[in-house]
Structure 1
């Protein structure tokens, strides 16, 4: 099938500014979750991406030049803060970093943990410096942002996820103590990011309903996430994005209550249902399948699923941003990322009657 790829009439920065103000835009915004996974596309290893300021900047700039997303950004990943607090992280040459050994084996060791200094501890300062440089290079054309793992995920990676999940039932008091420390570390990163003019988003995958009950989310994740979002609102004047992997439908209300402006949805849930339930309160983001469609699918598959997302969510009251349901996987064909961007131009253009798609 032949498609009409309508030419962009606005820069990403112009588009998102108008979008935020509720003004007319040339097409639906599109911002796939890029980052370390596309480093090999531009001749870098994922190991270098996590250890080199120059590589971080180069991947971000080339990602924008190649794909033209409506936002660009990166952060220290889910492992960045836990590593800075003492967890051991392994860095395969071209695969996702992972926690090899948590910082504490027992709560008798909790006294050795202290909140991070984002300018001194671990690799956090690499990311902050690279973000400043990237912002200077791209700020005229596109908004630059950052993301950070949330308190629950940080605590999981400090203690060991299996142990920490058991603590929610068997050792609640110490779980809360660990969450207090991890929350302060996240707040310290938020402040450092805000100091350079960025609005941080939060990823909290270990608080998914795939991992914990909605009751445990309300007790162990929500209050700490709210403190982080309150700090972002205090520093920037508004809420930001929260992404939680896996199934989250049971906690959508709690997520919205935290004070977020944007709810990023994994592909396992229905973005149309989210729009109907909470589209009047938050901008909805998502949710093309990153594995089956982006990694394993064809360009036609990308077009098909992106079109379905647009049809379901384009008229969301607080707005809709086409994106992937999670990070674009390592090994994804760049043509599929370009296809996702083009889908916003084909099906989400102001020249198209979306209701007739």
Structure 2
């Protein structure tokens, strides 16, 4: 985001804001493509379409801080895709994720994915590298990166209902699953921070 918005956001967070109350919104692919009248395929696959859409939304609402700002994401799919979850794609909505674990017993075969190599995560990192170079020329910096948390990632891997049942019926194995997803989220955030030197914050 531009420096004025980022500084306004930091002032509000620290309690030292000199401005009128700021509005900060999480705005990403569930809303931006429809607002711009483009398909989700264009938004996810065409860099110029993604860039133009994000620039336009910032221009249209100059007093709103958009978080995390120029977010590179594929709905909720980045983290689960690293574990091999099947992803279903649609032109008019965000993708859906199919659970990879048919049984909580399969957690014993699960390993922390490599953000540089596995699933959609390498594509996100590539996109950030490309985006930050283009945005920097316009005085815009990517100041925040994001990840889905360990709980939601585990729920995608197992299915929400099954995950909630596992919490009660298989607490030790579910704890192991959450340890793996926690390590994954940490590794994923670190990879993004390494990729985006201007990053000063994370959203989880």
- TM-score normalised by L of structure 1: 0.48
State the match for 1:318 in structure 2: none
- Aligned with 1:131 (options 122, 128, 133): 128
CA-based RMSD: 2.6
Deviation track 1:188-233 (CA, whole Å, cap 9, x = no partner) reads 111012212322211xxxxxxxxxxxxxxxxxxxxxxxxxxxxxxx
Q: 1:155 to 1:41 in 2, by over 3 A?
A: same
Which residue is equivalent to 2:171? 172
Query: Which SS does the other structure have where 2:101 is aligned?
Result: coil
Rg larger in 1 or in 2?
1
1:140 is matched with which residue?
A: 139
Partners of 1:29 and 1:141 in 2: CA distance? 19
Q: Identify the residue that residue 116 of structure 2 maps to in structure 1.
A: 119
Residue 40 of structure 2 is matched in structure 1 by 46
Within-5 A mapping of 1:149-228: 149-195=148-194, 196-197=196-197, 198=199, 199-202=201-204
Change beyond 3 A, Cα 1:21–1:14: same
Asked if 1:70 is matched to 2:49, the reply is: no
CA contact (8 A) 1:102 1:158 kept: yes
Do the aligned residues in 1 keep the contact of 2:85 with 2:99 (CA within 8 Å)?
yes
Structure 1 residues 23 and 45, CA gap change in structure 2 (3 angstroms): same
Structure 1 pair 23–58 and aligned structure 2 pair: CA distance change class (3 A) = same
- The CA distance in 1 between the partners of 2:47 and 2:70, in whole Å, is 14
Alignment coverage as a number of residue pairs: 192
Do the aligned residues in 1 keep the contact of 2:77 with 2:120 (CA within 8 Å)?
no
Q: CA, structure 1 residues 52+74, in 2 after alignment: closer, same or farther (shift >3 Å)? A: same
Structure 1 runs of 4+ aligned residues shifted over 6 Å read none
Distance in 2, matches of 1:135 and 1:163, equals: 39
Distance in 2, Cα, partners of 1:49 & 1:85: 24
- Does the alignment pair 1:102 with 2:99? yes
Is the alpha carbon distance of 1:83 and 1:24 closer, same or farther for their aligned partners in structure 2, counting shifts above 3 Å?
Answer: closer
- Kept in 2, the 8 Å contact 1:35–1:59? The answer is no
Give the structure 1 partner of residue 89 of structure 2.
Answer: 91
In the TM superposition, 1:325-336 aligns within 5 A as none
Cα deviation, residue 43, structure 1: 4.0
Aligned to 1:27, the other structure's residue is in SS state coil
**3-state DSSP of counterpart to 1:185:** helix
**What TM-score comes out, normalization by structure 2 length?**
0.80
Structure 1 stretch 45-54 or stretch 87-96: which is displaced more?
A: 45-54
Distance in 2 between residues matched to 1:86 and 1:125, nearest whole Å: 14
Aligned equivalents of 1:141, 1:14: Cα separation in 2: 12
Q: Indicate the structure whose relative CO is greater, using CA pairs within 8 Å and at least 6 residues apart.
A: 2
